[in-house]
Amino acid sequence: MPRLAIALLAGLLATLCACAARADRIDGFWCDSGSQRLSIDGPAIVTPAGHAIEGNYNRHFFNYIAPSDEPSGGTLVQMRLLNEDTMQRRAGPAGPVETWHRCGAPVS
């Protein structure tokens, strides 16, 4: 019986630690207020247009040069984590600041 309790406690702690780690990182799936989505996994990003590329990663910040065939092609896109569920995104120095929120993985 004590082994089962220890195993359950260890599983609970592992789950809590995984959630806390995600909450303090920009990694994950993000959605804007419309229909755009993006995902970040370390230096890898899938852009709103669906391009899988690499960018500059920091736990709370991410930036990349948008591929030329995207609406903001050739410009620096910057993202900043505001809290565990919200980030700001801006394409180019004069682009509007957009608010994005965490969302679930895409379902096909």
In a domain, 2, yes or no: no
Helices (H), 1-108: 2-23
- Residue 100: C-alpha distances to residues 2, 15, 17, 74 (Å): 45, 25, 24, 21
Which 8-state DSSP code applies to residue 29? Answer: E
In a domain, 5, yes or no: no
Q: Are strands 76-83 and 86-91 parallel, antiparallel or unpaired?
A: antiparallel
- 12 pLDDT tier (thresholds 50, 70, 90): very low
Q: Any idea what the CATH number is for the domain that residue 86 is in?
A: 2.40.128
Terminal C-alpha separation, the chain = 42
Q: pLDDT value at position 58? A: 95
User: How many CB atoms are closer than 10 A to CB 70?
Assistant: 16
Mean pLDDT over each residue of the chain, to the nearest integer = 85
Report the predicted TM-score, pTM, of the whole model to 2 decimal places.
Answer: 0.76
Structurally, the chain folds into a number of domains equal to: 1
In a domain, 42, yes or no: yes
Separation of alpha carbons 4 and 6, rounded Å:
5
Q: What is the CB-side half-sphere exposure of residue 43 using CA atoms within 13 A? A: 3
pLDDT digits (tens, 9 = 90+) for 44-97: 999 999 999 999 999 999 999 999 999 899 999 999 999 999 999 999 999 999
Q: pLDDT value at position 106? A: 82
Separation of alpha carbons 86 and 107, rounded Å:
21
Domain span at 61: 26-102
